[in-house]
Amino acid sequence: MQVHILGTSSSRPAHGRSVSGSVVNTNKGIIVVDCGEGFQERFVKHNKILKNKNSKYRIKSGKINTILLTHGHLDHTWGLLPLLKTLSLDGREKELTVIAPTLDIIVERILQSDSVAIKVEDIDVANVDIYNQYLQWWSLGGTTEELNYRVNWILVGVDKNDDINKLNAISINPNRGQIEVVNDLSKFTNGIKIVNIPTLHSVPSCGWWIKEPDRRGKFDSEKARRNNLSVEQIKKLVNGEKIDGFSPKEFMMESKKNPSVLISGDTAGKNPGFRKFSNTNYETSVLIHEATFLQINKDRAEKYFHSTALEAAKNAKLIGAKQLIITHFSSRIKDTKLLSSEAIEAFERVHAACDSDVIVIEGEEIKINSYP
């Protein structure tokens, strides 16, 4: 698995840093997490850099299966519709899924009325809530019929106090008015496991935990040979059947743990979701956590539901991540080393991301390739 970080700035581009957007390249295709302004251009530019460096980690937009959004702020969503349009111009045929959070109550009302045209005047819905953006994108041509490839639009109702693994999701086909309950998001990720982690921001938000399924242990043929097993006996063991004196388990080598990444999106440092996540048995190889502010601006961080670098580090420790990557830096901060030196107080393996960084996760090994 590699994570390509295509933007590390919060709110607006600054100091050569672009706004949010990451590409998670898994063994089952690409998942994009957030898609701020200019995302598709950054994708192309990044690939050129990788090509010039003869990197083996180049990425192809045709391999994108799923786009996950963490919340509706425009520095995370403005590049989505142009990307969908370009994929159409590229002649895309295979389906694509967009999954994004909204208020629980919006999902409930859509389900109750069996229509996307619900009344929301009596609830406090932000203009940039993903529900509102979906309506806009559909009216601007973001539909299966206009793009000529199938787009699955999924809304996930979230709340900061949700339990991990609670899923309140629907899939919407806007032109046909079809609305379906979604019970398993991995149907839309080519089998990659994804879990939404409740976060705490000024609009409905969640982080995304993404994991390649662990590989089953191989059959230990050397051990079979030592025990003089016949081809028939080996076949039975491989099929999970017992044979005289041996069980299949005895011949299975240890399963190979595959990598996982958690991308926080925008969140206040102290939030119930990370605490709940730390009580699950989900392991996280790499945590990519926002660190908008330094400790000196911790009041600002609290007021606007963002994190300081130190808070990001505390969350990395809390969930037992192996590596912390901090991102989403305020334009007030020119030198991101200031942030990592604060984070290191609480968590040693920290790296302040640069645009175009490629985080390579292979088994237990994590490498960071930077292209200054």
Q: Which residues bind Zn ion (CB under 5 A)?
A: 10, 73, 75, 266
- Closest by CA to 200, choosing from 270, 257, 262, is 270
Shortest Cβ 328–Zn ion spacing (Å): 6
Shortest Cβ 330–Zn ion spacing (Å): 10
Shortest Cβ 164–Zn ion spacing (Å): 21
Could you give the count of Cα atoms lying within 13 Å of 12 in the half-sphere of its Cβ?
Answer: 3
Q: Which is nearer to Zn ion, 26 or 205 (CB)?
A: 205
* CA 66 – CA 320 distance, rounded (Å): 27
Q: Which is nearer to Zn ion, 10 or 26 (CB)?
A: 10
Q: Which is nearer to Zn ion, 147 or 206 (CB)?
A: 206
DSSP of 246-290:
B-GGGGBPPPBPPPEEEE--S--SS-HHHHHHHTSS---SEEEEE
- Closest by CA to 211, choosing from 15, 21, 19, 24, is 24
Q: What is the bridge-based pairing of β-strands 323-327 and 178-182? A: unpaired
Q: Is 272 exposed, middle or buried (0-12, 13-18, 19+ CB in 10 A)?
A: middle
262, two tokens: 């958690």
* CA 268 – CA 10 distance, rounded (Å): 14
Shortest Cβ 76–Zn ion spacing (Å): 6
Shortest Cβ 240–Zn ion spacing (Å): 48
* CA 282 – CA 194 distance, rounded (Å): 11
Q: Which is nearer to Zn ion, 18 or 47 (CB)?
A: 18
Shortest Cβ 251–Zn ion spacing (Å): 50
Q: Which is nearer to Zn ion, 10 or 189 (CB)?
A: 10
Alpha helices in 320-361 (DSSP H): 337-343
Q: Which is nearer to Zn ion, 143 or 292 (CB)?
A: 292
Shortest Cβ 266–Zn ion spacing (Å): 3
Q: Which is nearer to Zn ion, 73 or 92 (CB)?
A: 73
Cα distances (angstroms) measured from residue 72 to each of 76, 156, 264, 266, 298 = 7, 12, 14, 10, 23
Radius of gyration in angstroms for the set of CA atoms belonging to the chain, rounded to a whole number? 22
Q: What phi and psi, each to the nearest 5 degrees, are found at residue 106?
A: -70, -45
